[in-house]
Amino acid sequence: MSRSVGRNVVRKDGTAKAVGTARYVDDLTFPGMLHARTIRSTIPRGRIVRMHRRFDAAGFTIVDARDIPGRNLVSLIQEDQPCLAEGEVRHAAEPLLLLAHEDRERLLQAQVEVEYAPAPALLDARESTHVFKEIRIARGDLDTGFREADLVVEGEYRTGHQEHLYIEPNGMIAVPEHGGVTVYGSLQCPYYVHRALCVLLDLPEDKVRVVQAETGGGFGGKEEYPSIIAGHASLLALKSGRPVKLIYDRTEDMIATTKRHPSTVRHRTGVMRDGRLAAMEIDVLFDGGAYCTLSPVVLSRGCLHATGPYRCDHVRVSGRVVMTNTPPNGAFRGFGAPQTLFAADVHMERIAEQLGMDPVRLRELNALRPGDSTATGQVLGADAAALDVLRAAVSRSGFHRKRRAYRGTGRGIGLSLFFHGAGFTGSGEVKLKSRASLELTPDGVRILVASTDIGQGQRTVHAQIVAEALGLPFEAVEVAAADTSIVPDSGPTVASRTTMVVGGLLKRCAEEMKARLGALTPRAYLRRHGPLVITKQYEPPPGLVWDDDTYQGSAYGSYGWACDVIEVERDPVTAGTRSPRRWSCATARWPTAS
């Protein structure tokens, strides 16, 4: 049988990208297309008194909240965020008014003056009493743990906003057609955009079509925000009756779109003299920004990773995410976990220092092993590879030798051991009920999923999985565009779920297709039996039980394990740092992309 998984294949979209023919949203044009622009608030909090138009409106399409045919909200978890501000402003760069014109120069020159009644802004998360979500995870008995401990180590760790910096800025084109709207855009989650547009525009599902254009990176930054841009472009398109292109420039993208949640994480840890962790008390605070967006889920993942990949019998994690008058924060690679993992692993270094212990030894002693259970009581299987990746990274990087050699020089070497839950948190996958389809073609098969290739190689990995399961060559597997008019809802392209969860569904589709084909070639099957499409829906693996109320059970179906080592060198002239070498040890299905 031909092997595809674990082998280096040529990525499906590699040639189009290297040759320059891959089409991103800004590369598309439609007849009669208008360009669009968003007028945004310049204050963090207040009331809009009046908006003065300081331009000749001839040829312009102008949209404000009153033009919204459906509900003025960005449909996600809480219904708190308007698509266009109405009366009240909750953060700087909040969208107020939309303009479109066929001449981009005139569009950019149009001036709108906004009169506000400003109010005092809340900018410090520690002072906020508006809580979007609170989470508590408890295991064992904290008091018992601290009583047993020989030493208590405390620390507070903070991280700030972080920008995704995908190289292609956000953008959408909305085309009014068939009594509804089709949007083409740079996005991760076609069905998020689809749902948001149905609510905003008051259109039935079959009148809204969302098509992913080639997407120049996402990193979480194109998970929920594209729903807003698609909404804005669609409102203008429906009002003008013409296609509307709304592309952010870099400045607007950085000012207005979501960022990683700033965090403050406090650790209080009871430790035995020999290095074993006896008690972990962890307090997590995330700054959610002005609206809820995905903050509850971000907090959830943050809290579930807050212990780091370490075992301890007595744990309490208390987390909350709060409102401030800053632009809303949202999805960003790792989704809350990098903040808490950073805190956990810096804290491990602090513990090692206080114990006078080798930090690798401390991690080896406490790393989660097969058979151990996490803070939520999830018993880990044989694939809990924390020790393996730690040892591999330490030995490949020459960690111990270098650590000794660099002492007292301007150089240093450090490591971070971490894990990452694959797929949606807790019962998320069960609620999503994702579907994937496989269609027989004369020369092989075509994959129909709403998963998007945003550079991570979804098309290629899915094709590898299907080719291997069917015993077909990799080249015989096509991947359809993520277009809601032809693909089922496979859930969003987030949470490291695309390969494992959607890939798993495709594997099941391929296995059934193989059985149906029997000894027939695809062409022969189609001739004899007609078209064949197989669709599978997510089913949780047996034994996976999760309780949303108590935060107990299997938080994730499976975990990835990794250890990064990095060398840092200080430049005595600039006082900056440089990282001449780094090592990363983990496991992979497609070596070229990892």
Task: State the residues that interact with another protein by CB under 8 A.
Answer: 10-11, 13-24, 26-27, 165-169, 214-219, 249-250, 454-457, 592-593
The DSSP output letter for 27 is G
Q: Are 447 and 462 within 8 A, CB to CB? A: yes
Those residues with Cβ within 8 angstroms of residue 113's Cβ, 6 or more apart along the chain or in another chain: 51, 52, 54
DSSP, collapsed to helix, strand or coil, labels residue 403 as helix
Structure tokens at 551: 């935060």
Structure tokens at 279: 């008690």
Taking the least distance from each CB to another protein, the nearer of 219 and 556 is: 219
- Give the span between the Cα atoms of 376 and 426, in whole angstroms: 10
Taking the least distance from each CB to another protein, the nearer of 13 and 483 is: 13
* Nearest partner of 217 among 251, 242, 253, judged by Cα: 253
Structure tokens at 65: 């909240």
Cα separations in angstroms, 85 against 39, 89, 288, 485: 11, 6, 18, 31
Q: What b-and-e string marks burial along 521-552, b requiring 16 or more CB atoms within 10 Å of the CB?
A: ebeebeeeeeebebebebeeeeebebeeeebb
The DSSP output letter for 310 is B
Q: Order of strands, edge to edge, in the sheet holding 112-118?
A: 88-89, 46-53, 112-118
Rg of the chain (C-alpha set): 26
Residue whose token pair is 């992913």: 212
The DSSP output letter for 336 is T
CB of 189 to another protein, least distance (A): 16
The CA angle 466-521-12, to the nearest 5 degrees, is 35
CB of 19 to another protein, least distance (A): 4
CB of 478 to another protein, least distance (A): 17
Q: Are 373 and 383 within 8 A, CB to CB? A: no
- SS3 track for 474-506: HHHEEECCCECCCCCCCCCCCCCCHHHHHHHHH
Taking the least distance from each CB to another protein, the nearer of 248 and 546 is: 248
Taking the least distance from each CB to another protein, the nearer of 8 and 111 is: 8
Taking the least distance from each CB to another protein, the nearer of 132 and 474 is: 474
Q: Are 298 and 336 within 8 A, CB to CB? A: yes
Distance from CA of residue 236 to its chain's centroid?
28
Taking the least distance from each CB to another protein, the nearer of 217 and 553 is: 217
Taking the least distance from each CB to another protein, the nearer of 112 and 254 is: 254
Taking the least distance from each CB to another protein, the nearer of 129 and 579 is: 579
CB of 193 to another protein, least distance (A): 19
Taking the least distance from each CB to another protein, the nearer of 13 and 569 is: 13
Q: Order of strands, edge to edge, in the sheet holding 315-323?
A: 131-139, 315-323, 277-289, 263-271, 151-159
Q: Which residues pair with 547 in a beta bridge?
A: 552
CB of 409 to another protein, least distance (A): 22
DSSP assignment of 161-174 equals ------SSPPEEEE
CB of 593 to another protein, least distance (A): 6
Taking the least distance from each CB to another protein, the nearer of 82 and 455 is: 455
CB of 165 to another protein, least distance (A): 6
Taking the least distance from each CB to another protein, the nearer of 105 and 127 is: 105
CB of 381 to another protein, least distance (A): 30
The DSSP output letter for 40 is E
DSSP, collapsed to helix, strand or coil, labels residue 270 as strand
CB of 582 to another protein, least distance (A): 9
CB of 18 to another protein, least distance (A): 4
Taking the least distance from each CB to another protein, the nearer of 168 and 224 is: 168
- Give the span between the Cα atoms of 314 and 312, in whole angstroms: 6
Taking the least distance from each CB to another protein, the nearer of 250 and 273 is: 250
Q: What b-and-e string marks burial along 162-181, b requiring 16 or more CB atoms within 10 Å of the CB?
A: bebebebbbbbbbbbeeebb
The CA angle 377-380-382, to the nearest 5 degrees, is 165
Structure tokens at 535: 């669709």
CB of 99 to another protein, least distance (A): 20
CB of 132 to another protein, least distance (A): 29
CB of 417 to another protein, least distance (A): 20
CB of 570 to another protein, least distance (A): 19
CB of 28 to another protein, least distance (A): 9
Structure tokens at 257: 């779109």
Taking the least distance from each CB to another protein, the nearer of 166 and 525 is: 166
Residue whose token pair is 């107990």: 552
Taking the least distance from each CB to another protein, the nearer of 165 and 430 is: 165
Structure tokens at 198: 């149905």
